[in-house]
Chain A
């Protein structure tokens, strides 16, 4: 690559994101002309007292499509940052936001909610709560079993817990009887019917978390060189690990409880960011955020347009696109 300045790289990435957002708003399962869309945005942004020819387009663009794109941007960002943090903290390139069972935990919460017959909002609350409890449990057991909180212990206990809970989840799906479809649908992930309120909630969590993480970028850099080095410098590795895992879990839990399980973004985005920006977290954090948004917004665009007016689960699209792409990125690295 000829471009070496990271500033220029950011400008390019942000331009790509803007194009993707533009396309995300312009394309959907209902075809609406560009002129109408621009008109709608003019009316809304400048608060004009005007009517457009087809009022229902106003609802479609302003209340269904735009908030969905906005929630997509933030959800993609949150998953990507969360994935980056997990990969750095666990020093494991195949770690993702779901390594410690956040998705399994959320699925169990949702499954219980479905069996009890609660509202969609309460499903999110239950999903969030159980996923946080699961990660809390894993960290607690790991710290009791291994005072130094080594990565192997965390990952192993995480895996064992996830596997056990998956068995439990299977039973819950069985007990759910006819409602089991609801749990399975939820697990596939969807950005459908998201609102501005969802956007604001996500924004608050994301801004607080990312601001906090940004102050820790040097520590994260040091940690990525190795725990031994980090300890030698005098870093309290155990404490840092727990805090960072806490933040990463919070980010993922919020996204998953809102949208269901959307895979691969948390795994792939940090790798792409590393390819572009190297290994410094000062650049990796914003880089992952932009890349995660680009991937999720475009995947959702595909999900809602390829089979219109029918919709595909966005989780399936991210996996379909993300899997081969990840293989390509990773194998190419191996060839070097």
Chain B
């Protein structure tokens, strides 16, 4: 759409002037625009990578994505694939210029090995474990899709926004103890420790993750949550009301500070769970629910 608009404007300009020199110049611009990138067909295999690619303005160049990626911002129909078991024939028939994979897809021998052996351009992005990792993933994708400048700007903006929040968090005198629940899977409570960027984000906005001394993604016991007595409980779900209610009425949790003070918050967006430039939306939401006085 944008391209059509640019062309239209250019033609309009050309139409206005009778100068042949201008005409030549415009022709040149149009031609170089066409050749500016050799990346025209992209396959993305992870939601966070897809968001970055779309953010770099290449949504229209994506030809296939994994089942979990957000398709709403891709302006045309794309092929959906199960990236745990990618269909090689389909991938080849799509003639991708680059395939952006994530290490989510490569547990013990990547299913893309075959494609790499065939000489396809496969760029693997490690899942982000820290905020710095998110920055470097964005830059790596930028290089892979030949949008290096844009990706650097994207990282710069993101960094500024995050640092701004970090700066504001210094006003907070008493850092609150936070329990971040990723999910209650029929009693198995899923949370996170250090070595995850969400743990880092909790600290950036001025909180303290009660399971910080644990590593990575973990299943925690109800007992240890009650023992650590968090002042704020945060979770994220599409079913906000019922989830909050379930936590508040959870057997044995009534003495927990967060429950006593009605500080159970359900994040409405899933942006925090994706290591892309959109993580900032999740960070802001987290900051606002945790310290409304400071951030709102």
What is the interface of chain A, defined by CB distance below 8 A to chain B?
Answer: 28-30, 55-56, 58-60, 62-65, 67, 110, 117, 119-120, 123-124, 174, 177-178, 181-182, 185-186, 188, 190-196, 259-260, 304, 308-313
Contact = CB atoms under 8 A, between A and B. Distances in A.
Contacts of B187: 120, 190-194, 259-260
B222 interface: yes
Contacts of A123: 186
B246 A59 contact: no
Interface string B246-264: 1000111111100000000
Interface string B159-191: 000000000000000000000000111111110
B102 to A, nearest CB: 14
B246 A120 contact: yes
Contact of A192 (B82, B214, B222): B222
Contacts of A259: 186-187
Interface stretch (B121-129, B224-232, B281-289): B224-232
14 contacts: A28-B221, A29-B223, A30-B226, A56-B226, A59-B255, A59-B256, A60-B252, A190-B187, A191-B187, A193-B189, A196-B251, A259-B187, A309-B220, A310-B219
Nearest to B251: A195
Contact of B220 (A67, A110, A310): A310
A30 B227 CA distance: 7
B224 A308 contact: yes
B67 interface: yes
B5 interface: no
B157 interface: no
Interface of B: 67-68, 82, 183-190, 211, 214, 218-224, 226-227, 229, 238-239, 242, 246, 250-256
Interface centre among A59, A110, A182 (most CB of B within 10 A): A59
B252 A120 contact: no
Contacts of A312: 219
A308 B189 CA distance: 13
A110 B187 CA distance: 14
Given A117-B239, A123-B186, A190-B188, A56 B255 contact: yes
A109 B83 CA distance: 26
A185 B227 contact: no
B223 A30 contact: yes
Nearest to A121: B246
Contacts of B185: 181-182, 185-186
Interface centre among B68, B183, B185, B186 (most CB of A within 10 A): B186
A190 B186 contact: yes
A259 B185 CA distance: 11
A67 B188 contact: no
A308 B250 CA distance: 21
A310 B218 contact: yes
Nearest to B182: A181
Given A120-B184, A174-B82, A192 B221 contact: yes
B68 A178 contact: yes
Contact of B67 (A124, A177, A194, A309): A177
Nearest to B185: A185
B183 A192 contact: no
Contact of B223 (A28, A117, A191, A196): A28
The 3 closest A-B pairs by CB, nearest first: A63-B252, A309-B224, A185-B185
B183 A29 contact: no
B227 to A, nearest CB: 4
Contacts of B189: 192-193
B169 to A, nearest CB: 26
Contact of B219 (A30, A60, A65, A311): A311
Interface centre among B82, B188, B214 (most CB of A within 10 A): B188
Nearest to B219: A311
B46 to A, nearest CB: 12
A181 B68 CA distance: 13
Nearest to A193: B187
Given A64-B223, A192-B188, A309-B214, 16 more contacts: A30-B227, A56-B226, A59-B226, A60-B223, A63-B251, A64-B251, A119-B242, A178-B68, A185-B188, A185-B219, A186-B188, A190-B188, A192-B189, A192-B222, A304-B221, A310-B220
Contacts of A304: 221, 223
Contacts of B239: 117
A311 B222 CA distance: 10
A194 to B, nearest CB: 7
B156 to A, nearest CB: 30
Interface centre among A64, A117, A182 (most CB of B within 10 A): A64
B252 A59 contact: yes
A178 B227 CA distance: 30
A248 to B, nearest CB: 23
Interface centre among B185, B189, B218, B227 (most CB of A within 10 A): B185
